[in-house]
């Protein structure tokens, strides 16, 4: 798919719901048509701590990669933290998005109905 086709497919709300490395993550990310992204989530660690987060920034698709930049706030920090990610889009359908980060870690997201 071209970057333009991938961009069209990504617009909407995607849910991450996964267990990894001793924590459970649930989050929702909204990819808006104008290139703005926003979202929120919660991370439950096996030690019982819970971290909530919200983020906003910009997104685009370049050379088959999802490029995201912005700021994230968490309940355990006083100041926002910048993020700058570039993930390869392994696959995107109407209902599923698979991203692969620079370390080769795969993340599967599902479209919110």
Cα distance between residue 85 and residue 26, in whole Å: 19
CB atoms within 10 A of CB 68: 20
- Residue 2: predicted pLDDT: 96
pLDDT band with cut points at 50, 70 and 90 for residue 20: confident
- Residue 7: predicted pLDDT: 97
Q: What is the DSSP letter of 9?
A: H
Cα distance between residue 1 and residue 79, in whole Å: 38
Mean pLDDT estimate for the chain: 95
Q: What is the CATH number of the domain that holds 43?
A: 2.40.128.280
Nearest to 80 by CA among 91, 70, 69: 70
Q: What is the DSSP letter of 14?
A: E
Question: Could you list the residue range(s) of the whole structural domain that residue 60 is in?
Answer: 3-111
pLDDT band with cut points at 50, 70 and 90 for residue 47: confident
Q: Which two tokens stand for residue 93?
A: 């359908």
- Residue 22: predicted pLDDT: 87
Instruction: Say what the pTM is.
Output: 0.90
| Domains held by the chain: number | 1
Q: Evaluate whether 12 touches 112 at the Cβ level (below 8 Å).
A: yes
pLDDT band with cut points at 50, 70 and 90 for residue 46: confident
């Amino acid at each position: 798919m071209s970057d333009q086709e991938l961009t069209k497919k990504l617009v909407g709300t995607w849910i991450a719901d996964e267990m990894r490395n001793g924590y459970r993550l649930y989050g929702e990310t909204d990819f808006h048509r104008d290139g703005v992204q926003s979202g929120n989530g919660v991370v439950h660690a096996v030690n019982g701590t819970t971290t909530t987060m919200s983020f906003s920034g910009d997104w685009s698709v370049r050379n088959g990669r999802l490029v995201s930049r912005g700021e994230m706030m968490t309940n355990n920090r006083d100041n926002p933290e910048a993020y700058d990610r570039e993930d390869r889009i392994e696959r995107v359908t109407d209902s599923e998005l698979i991203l692969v980060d620079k370390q080769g870690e795969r993340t599967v997201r599902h479209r919110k109905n």
